[in-house]
Amino acid sequence: MADASVTAHLRSLYRKFIDGSHILHHHRVLDAYGHLSFRHPLKPDVFVMSRSIAPALISSLDDLVEYRVSDAEPVSPNPLKKGFAERHIHSEIYKQHKHINAVVHSHSSAVIPYTITGVPLRACYHMAGFLGTEGVPVYNISQLYGRDDTHDMLVRNEDLGAPLASLFEDGNVVALMRGHGFTAVAESIESAVFRAIYTQKNAAIQSATMGMLAAATSIGDLTQEEEDIGVWYLSEEEARATTALTEWSVQRPWMLWVKEVEASELYVNSADCVHE
């Protein structure tokens, strides 16, 4: 790849990263907390995150930090660029799964109920087939703390991050985190952002459906057959087909979402230079 092409490709990824962070905030998947990362395309043993800053306020390459996949430490330490405590969520996923190139970690309140009950989060509409039909796996950090770990629910080291990363096997792309939130992965920034947004939407739809079903059942407004069906989730075949459909069409919402954040004065993206 010629130098000019390399520079253009990197600039595109940096811009996508900043746009993606803004989009996730715009959709309330992230607030002051949570983060997006991506694997460096030319240095696969390196990943990129922002410094410890609210996602909506990321604005330039000066806000970005490169980290080693091996230990989640900065490639070029800078005391002025404090990092996120939970970098090991990202580093351990990139370490275990070479095909994953982007990670989102969210504290979505719509998803939290599915992390603290026995109610499984399942694909219940066609935009979230990637969630599957068996229930999204739940990471329970309480079973993993070491003797010296602070019990603050944060994934602060390799020993806590590796078990979370192991949940992304067999095509699984989302993992819930008990009392904490969820993590979504993909092969691109656009797809990771898409999956995070529609994980939150699916959770809201499923919760509303369960509430409606409970209310209708309590007043005898359902037939016995309808009560037996309960929530009508996607079948395995439907989940596979709708996942393929959304993967094919992910650029459509992405282009819209970029325009939405560009139209807001809150979000600034000046990724007009490149770190080599």
Give the pLDDT of residue 69.
99
* Tokens of residue 108, six digits: 């979505």
Distance CA 88, CA 174 (A): 16
Query: Does pLDDT of 14 surpass 70?
Result: yes
Catalytic pick among 66, 73, 86, 226: 86
Query: Does pLDDT of 274 surpass 60?
Result: no
Q: What confidence tier does 1 reach under pLDDT thresholds 50, 70, 90? A: very low
Q: What confidence tier does 276 reach under pLDDT thresholds 50, 70, 90? A: very low
Give the pLDDT of residue 163.
98
Please check whether residue 236 lies inside any domain of the structure: yes
Q: Which domain holds residue 149?
A: 3-262
Is residue 86 annotated as a catalytic residue, yes or no?
yes
Report CA torsion sign: 211, 214, 218, 221. Answer: positive
What are the tens digits of pLDDT across the range 119-162?
999 999 999 999 999 999 999 999 999 999 999 999 999 999 99
Query: Does pLDDT of 217 surpass 80?
Result: no
Note the pTM of the prediction, 2 decimals: 0.93
Please check whether residue 227 lies inside any domain of the structure: yes
Query: Does pLDDT of 95 surpass 60?
Result: yes
Query: Does pLDDT of 258 surpass 80?
Result: yes
Residues of the chain by 3-state class (helix, strand, coil), percent to 5: 45, 10, 45
Query: Does pLDDT of 230 surpass 90?
Result: no
Domain count, the chain: 1
Distance CA 94, CA 16 (A): 19
Give the pLDDT of residue 6.
58
Structure-model confidence comparison of residues 272 and 254, the more confident one? 254
Distance CA 50, CA 31 (A): 14
The domain that holds 203 is classified in CATH as: 3.40.225.10
Please check whether residue 270 lies inside any domain of the structure: no
CB within 8 Å of 39: residues ≥ 6 apart: 46, 47, 48, 69, 94, 100, 101, 102
* Count of beta carbons in the 10 Å neighbourhood of residue 6: 14
Please check whether residue 67 lies inside any domain of the structure: yes
